Amino acid sequence: MSNNYDPALLHGKKILCIEDNPLEQMLLTRVLKIMGLDACMASTALEGLDMAHEMHPGLILLDMHLPEMNGSEVLHRIRNEKALNEVPVVMVTANVWGNERQELLDAGASDVLTKPILPETLRQTLYRLM
């Protein structure tokens, strides 16, 4: 894949990150803003679902382990809501066991990224999905 990306393709697009870890939030915010994205953070699953309805993001980065419910449950809710079911959702997890990656893709995830996320991997994923 070429490393020649046009930054204008992502500039100003809205991305919602549902992540409860403050350090991960800070890192994602910095990387996404450098890429020109309008990044918003939610710390809990319910806050993320509310924000998704309000902001209509171009993509959702969704952590697997969240307060209130896990990422799989949030993904299920997103895919069953008409207003959100077409939004690309990238699941983010510290580790993927067995068939978990394929199960998440089968459940409607657009992709699965493993922490720590390398900025170049994130950039390639965003260009592909947004």
**Tens of pLDDT, residues 20-34:** 999 999 999 999 999
What pLDDT sits at residue 41? Answer: 97
Please enumerate in sequence order all residues whose Cβ is within 8 A of that of 5, keeping only pairs 6 or more positions apart, or say none: 123, 127
What pLDDT sits at residue 102? Answer: 92
Q: What's the chain's Rg over C-alpha atoms?
A: 14
Band of the pLDDT at 7, cuts 50, 70, 90?
low
Residues 89-123 have pLDDT tens digits of: 999 998 777 788 999 999 999 999 998 899 999 99
pLDDT above 70 coverage of the chain, percent: 95
Rounded CA gap, 6 and 23, in Å?
Answer: 28
* Assigned CATH for 11-129: 3.40.50.2300
Rounded CA gap, 116 and 86, in Å?
Answer: 26
What pLDDT sits at residue 68? Answer: 87
HSE-CB of 37 using CA atoms within 13 angstroms: 24
Whether the pTM exceeds 0.85: the reply is yes
Band of the pLDDT at 1, cuts 50, 70, 90?
very low
Buried b (16+ CB within 10 A) or exposed e, 27-50: bbbebbeebebbbbbbbbbbbbbe
Rounded CA gap, 69 and 40, in Å?
Answer: 20
77, two tokens? 């809710």
Band of the pLDDT at 67, cuts 50, 70, 90?
confident
Q: Domain extents for the chain?
A: 11-129
